[in-house]
Structure 1
Amino acid sequence: MKNKFNIDLKIFENYYSADYFKKTREILNKFKPNQLVTMQWFQRKENTVICGIEVIKEILRLSEVKDLNVEAVEEGEVVNSLEPVLKITGKYNNFAHFEGLFDGILSRASTIATNAKKIINVANGKMVLNMNDRMDYYTNQQIDGYASSIGGITNLVTEASFEFLESQPNLNGTMPHALIASFDGDLLKATEAYKEVFPNNNLVVLVDYNNDCINDSLRVCNNFRNEVYAVRLDTSPSLVDKSLQNLNEKDNELHGVNPTLVKLLREKLDENGHKNVKIIVSSGFDENKIKYFEDLNTPVDIYGVGEAITKNKIAFTGDIVLIDGKKQSKFGRENVLSNKIKSIKYN
């Protein structure tokens, strides 16, 4: 039986279930074995992009439980605070151990999808590169790549990120600072080595190693002429690029990668015959910083985003709201009707 999301089968041995769910399951199996309960999952933020429903469907399919009535929103649906996204009706014993598990799946995947959607919405159609692999535990790459895609960011940098996607890996990336360091800080030698080993790749050059983005960009573009696809700026927020150090600064607006630096780089590239060279920016970019750059018409072609993909955690919770069809719930968590959830098949 195909395991679409590479589900760890120890799930069905309660390996990932909180102890109190397991104990409640045993108690109800003894005293209320035929009781039908309806559990409802929701969260408390506006404009949340729901992701993880397909993973939950796969878990239910692999569980081989046949008599559950499952209702859910579609993957990628946008919901608001308190709107139910998933309801399961059946014998509690058949799905009690999934309560916390499903909370976590929805929380993680919807957080990634929602952040991706917000970033895409402010990027004005420009490419966004998901570089979140360096910001989280490596085993999250598969689900994060899937959720990122649901949110609209499909440019990923690791093979693992594509594992749950139907598309084949189309890896995007640039040289790291480590490559330049290995050639004693000589950007031209590092670039030549990259080009020689990967001649069919787009030549993307990292130009902030010496904190001299303008001059190093011109050096590499003049040397390699029409072979350079893009230059990437990744200046630390603690630094001011050498090209801007004679300018007056207010509120640190010249620190790190900033609109003034990007505009100056675009101007100098164009003046020197490199109008086709794209500009990639990274280092601290999130929804707000991208919007700031776009509001100032900053000539960025591609945004690299890392930490912003996983911040602003969205928390889900599941609660029993009906027992044998009658209202029964914790105060404030009553059964909520929604025309967004539909009955779904999982097997």
Structure 2
Amino acid sequence: MNFKFNIDSKIFEDYYNADYFQKTKEILDIYKPNQKVTMQWFQRKENTVVCGISLICEILKQSGAKDLDIKGLSDGDVVMPNEPVLKITGKYSQFAHFEGLFDGILARASTIATNAYNLKKAANGKSILNMNDRADAYVNQQIDGYASIVGGINNLVTYASFEYTQTKPYLQGTMPHALIASFDGDLIKAAQAYKDTFRDNNLVVLVDYNNDCINDSLLVANHFKDKLFAVRVDTSMALVDKSLQGLTEQENELHGVNPTLIKKLRLALDEKGHNNVKIIVSSGFDENKIKWFEKENTPVDVYGVGEAIVKNKISFTGDLVRIDGKNQAKVGRGNISSSRIKSIKYI
């Protein structure tokens, strides 16, 4: 997919750039105006999905920087520790003030892309709904949406998340608990209001409001019949669903959304002829919880994931490694050769 990045003009006014990098740029403009350097970026974690290269190239393009030689990997490539992902050669004064900004772009985007990739892999090809909007600040939604898609998850829930994709977002969200509460806990009235208001949306009903997922799922399935697309189970880990409260557990495996509950729900729906109703699960899902559900052959159609999209932070480091064609670097941060990085045309 081709991305079109809308760059905040304040980037070029040093609004987001660390002061000491800006000061370095001003010093070099005076004392080393023609000095050419090579800067490289790398990270230290296994199997990292690189993301942010395209955005960095667009920033350099719009900055007016000229005659830079850029070599890098492509967004979506998987790298190992200490493997260069990007090298920029040219007058340092043209990009010195972006050093920290580029560290952050690679860190944020690669973290999201790597998590998305691992979650998708754990789900064995099943759909994942990226609900990260509730897990972090709204200002990250554009870059997070871009990185999520690079990592393999393209089911997003906000318009901002699609900003870089050049595609018209098609949002098919479910209802929040607040909507049910607004109808005095009446699930049918809340679902009917949703259906009548958004007639072109699939009807997906949240069924854990009363902590009675199976009975409430059957209630809405019997009422809406073939108009019901899916039910979503979002039970808190602090609770055990009413249908499981007679069972014995050893390690909280019956709390929250769990395989036993979902298997029982699928069986109940099928027995009443609602085989086509899909099951969406959310609440605390990460890579390990999805693997648990898949190992148990749990009949899930869609996993909703929020906080896990932003966990396991991956940090990148940018270092000067060559000055005017000669090796020059901090000890332990020398120039690393790579046969994988390729020339990138940025203008």
Question: Quick one: percent identity of the two aligned structures?
Answer: 71
Structure 1-normalised TM-score? 0.98
Q: In the alignment, what sits opposite 1:131?
A: 131
Q: In the alignment, what sits opposite 2:218?
A: 218
CA distance in 2, matches of 1:96, 1:20: 10
| Cα displacement (A) at 1:328 | 0.7
Counterpart amino acid of residue 251 in structure 1: E
The DSSP-based 3-state class of the residue aligned with 2:124 is coil
| Cα displacement (A) at 1:319 | 0.2
For the pair 1:241 / 2:246, whether they are aligned, the reply is no
CA distance in 1, matches of 2:213, 2:4: 44
Number of equivalences: 345
CA distance in 2, matches of 1:90, 1:119: 38
| Cα displacement (A) at 1:95 | 0.7
CA distance in 1, matches of 2:97, 2:339: 27
Counterpart amino acid of residue 52 in structure 1: G
Q: In the alignment, what sits opposite 1:157?
A: 157
CA distance in 1, matches of 2:229, 2:135: 26
CA distance in 2, matches of 1:209, 1:303: 18
Residue 239 of structure 1 contacts residue 255 of structure 1 at CA under 8 Å; is this kept in 2?
Answer: yes
1:284-310 deviation digits (Å, cap 9, x = unpaired): 001110011000100000000000111
| Cα displacement (A) at 1:234 | 0.1
CA distance in 1, matches of 2:209, 2:314: 36
Structure 2-normalised TM-score? 0.98
For the pair 1:270 / 2:270, whether they are aligned, the reply is yes
Q: In the alignment, what sits opposite 2:67?
A: 67
The DSSP-based 3-state class of the residue aligned with 2:125 is coil
1:56-93 deviation digits (Å, cap 9, x = unpaired): 01001101111111111011111011101110111111
Q: In the alignment, what sits opposite 1:140?
A: 140
Counterpart amino acid of residue 4 in structure 1: K
CA distance in 2, matches of 1:222, 1:20: 65
Residue 116 of structure 1 contacts residue 309 of structure 1 at CA under 8 Å; is this kept in 2?
Answer: yes
Q: How does 1:1-347 map to 2 (within 5 A)?
A: 4-347=4-347
Residue 280 of structure 2 contacts residue 300 of structure 2 at CA under 8 Å; is this kept in 1?
Answer: yes
| Cα displacement (A) at 1:216 | 0.4
Backbone CA RMSD of aligned residues: 1.1
Q: Which segments of 5 or more consecutive residues in structure 2 lack a partner in the other structure?
A: none
Residue 73 of structure 1 contacts residue 342 of structure 1 at CA under 8 Å; is this kept in 2?
Answer: yes
Counterpart amino acid of residue 181 in structure 2: A
| Cα displacement (A) at 1:200 | 2.0
| Cα displacement (A) at 1:267 | 0.6
- Structure 1 residue ranges, 4+ long, deviating more than 6 angstroms after superposition: none
Residue 129 of structure 1 contacts residue 172 of structure 1 at CA under 8 Å; is this kept in 2?
Answer: no
Counterpart amino acid of residue 279 in structure 2: I
CA distance in 2, matches of 1:4, 1:110: 18
CA distance in 1, matches of 2:28, 2:119: 45
Residue 73 of structure 2 contacts residue 86 of structure 2 at CA under 8 Å; is this kept in 1?
Answer: yes
| Cα displacement (A) at 1:22 | 1.6
CA distance in 2, matches of 1:4, 1:97: 23
Q: Which segments of 5 or more consecutive residues in structure 1 lack a partner in the other structure?
A: none
1:101-135 deviation digits (Å, cap 9, x = unpaired): 00000001111100000000011111100011111
